[in-house]
């Protein structure tokens, strides 16, 4: 990154909490690698204040924002338009400044599919997937997998939330119970945890014995880098990944939307390795 001046473009991320975000390291490494006069900052925005943060983006001329929990749906009404991916997911993780307009996009699903392909060599078409969760990230992942030709089942700790999302995206909802989840794991090739479970060391919400060598497991939690689910899957011979691959690839898509420059993936990965 060059010296900060009055010409330096500003991008960032809003969330609560947000101080643990790896996005500043990823994006600032990308700006440095490409020689762009940009800087990326983390902005803590309290629940309920997302529309005010979007208004601040307009007023301050911020070039781009990423959006993380709990604001992925709360920002929508403050934007001028949504991309098809954001509309399909019902959530926004990227805001693009286009002249006077602010456009909401969702790069989570495309980033997830890119990470699956590059890290795991996995092609979803014709496969069966189980997704745990019904928040913004889960919405994007379910939509992307379904659109890519996978048969998706969904389970969340709030049954009504799972049922609503499953109905909106045309997938099958399941009870968030160990027995039902174990049966679903046995049926699936791909298992995705899009809940916070594991971030505090919690065990998987189904018996670990349900996992086997033919599974591909992705835990979108990336702190700790090896969650109990990832560890259990690897111990049983499955391919297992944390959420850092998705984080980098969704960030790359945001970077490209803001700057029009190809993202330096290797530099972005190195920033968090």
Residues labelled catalytic: 72
d(CA 145, CA 128): 9
Rounded Cα–Cα distance for residues 128 and 151 (Å): 5
109 vs 92: CA distance, rounded Å: 11
Residues present in the chain in total = 273
Extract the tokens encoding 50: 């997302």
Residue 76 vs residues 7, 120, 144, 174, 195: alpha-carbon distances, Å:
29, 33, 19, 28, 22
Contacts of 92 (CB under 8 A, 6+ apart): 67, 72, 73, 75, 76, 79, 82, 86, 104, 105, 106, 136
Beta carbons within 8 Å of 195's beta carbon, 6+ residues apart: 132, 133, 135, 138, 156, 157
């Amino acid at each position: 990154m060059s010296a900060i001046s009055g010409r330096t473009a500003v991008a960032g991320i809003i969330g609560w909490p947000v101080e643990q975000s790896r996005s500043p390291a990823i994006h600032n490494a990308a700006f440095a690698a490409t020689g762009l006069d940009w800087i990326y900052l983390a902005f803590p925005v309290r629940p309920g204040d997302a529309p005010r943060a979007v208004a601040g983006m307009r007023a301050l001329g911020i070039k781009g924002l990423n959006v993380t929990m709990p604001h992925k749906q709360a920002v929508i009404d403050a934007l001028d338009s949504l991309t098809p991916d954001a509309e399909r997911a019902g959530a926004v993780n990227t805001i693009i400044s286009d002249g006077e307009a602010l456009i909401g996009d969702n790069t989570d699903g495309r980033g997830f599919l890119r990470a699956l392909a590059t890290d795991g060599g996995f092609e979803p078409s014709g496969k069966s997937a189980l997704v745990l969760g019904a928040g913004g990230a889960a919405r994007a992942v379910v939509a992307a997998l379904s659109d890519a030709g996978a048969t998706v089942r969904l389970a969340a700790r709030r049954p009504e939330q799972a049922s609503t999302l499953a109905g909106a995206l045309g997938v099958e909802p399941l009870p968030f119970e160990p027995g039902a989840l174990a049966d679903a794991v046995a049926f699936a090739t791909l298992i995705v945890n899009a809940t916070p479970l594991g971030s505090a060391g919690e065990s998987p919400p189904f018996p670990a014995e349900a996992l086997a060598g033919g599974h591909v497991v992705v835990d979108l939690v990336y702190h700790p880098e090896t969650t109990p689910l990832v560890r259990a899957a690897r111990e049983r011979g499955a391919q297992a990944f944390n959420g850092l691959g998705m984080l980098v690839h969704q960030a790359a898509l945001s970077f490209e939307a803001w700057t029009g420059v190809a993202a330096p993936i290797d530099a972005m990965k190195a920033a968090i390795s």
